[in-house]
Structure 1
């Protein structure tokens, strides 16, 4: 069997040996390409493994007779594998495809432009470099947070303050009073019509006890005592409802 027939067989040991040698010779190429895609939201080891997979695919599919060098053929194959991995696996909240692609271009072109300028490029400079509107550059830059959003349970990296969830869950005083208002409304509804009118005239219309005495045909002292009795009754009803509304009280009533 001559050498050409050995290479024509996919399962030949000679072909596999050549493929394996190509893979071993160009591991650094795969690692270098993986490093270009590494970032805050991407695991370097995972990207390197994907690049190795692309290198193996390139070694198996490479045809030397086409006149292309192996590195020139392998680099696009490895890059394609990395792009597919990042597009399909690394987005917790997946943005539109155009935003994903532009984000990849920013990752590649941003460092090169920064090196040429000697400083970090502005969004307008990046937009001119890539030939896209400035608004799209801003959208693609912001998309980085969609890969691995910050946990609400984590504190800021430069702060010893509370977690974000604690800052978001701010207690609303008006909301806390809502239950009390509901209980008060129910307690007032249990009063007689005359007592409800008395409360309304005294605390909403702000009529004096003397004026209320004339309206109801009683003395100012009798109005004062009646108001005190009504207020004590309301306080008692509110206290009872608050005790009943506590989780421990409800649990105890169910288990007793």
Structure 2
């Protein structure tokens, strides 16, 4: 067994070797060591849904099952970090738990689109005229039914904006996994790398480099500021701008 595993230390240079070793040997003690190293993933995700769960222990066990499934199914040849692969696996088990308990209500994707279109139109109108558009005016302008727009705005104000605003305004602790708190795969903006690649033409070369460091290499703002030789404050502002651009493009 490698020295890294013995010391419960798994860094990026070791990860490929360690999973190859487990895939080849099927050693359960090796699996358990890997599980212990990544236990923070189910802990973090289960904690986000704790208030919704009728039984937190059951929820946590389901999240841990997701991590075990990820370990058993992960192929180091995927050329992707285990953390990136495991997080959606854990989230899927958590969602399955809520579906079985009957407490997980999936919001139609159409609501997301209506909310962001209405919000965008409302903000643009206010900036240009200083006038706050009513729900009736928004519905008329968008060619939608009043009740549908009202429903989307009411739901979105309480759910989507709170999740994304919190994500976009967090500081150094903001990482890839924070997006997982949002309750629908259609909002996992950064997880969809194909989407990001299609959006690259809308970004500057500096923003593209930042995006690679932050969401492909999963580096912290501090690490990126050193790599790009700029202040951490500039990196923080750049992150907010890039996320805003991607969010707007996603809902256009």
| Common fold: TM-score over 0.5 | no
What TM-score range do you get, normalising by the shorter chain?
Answer: 0.3 to 0.5
Larger radius of gyration between Structure 1 and Structure 2: 1
> How does the TM-score come out when normalised to structure 2?
0.34
> How does the TM-score come out when normalised to structure 1?
0.34
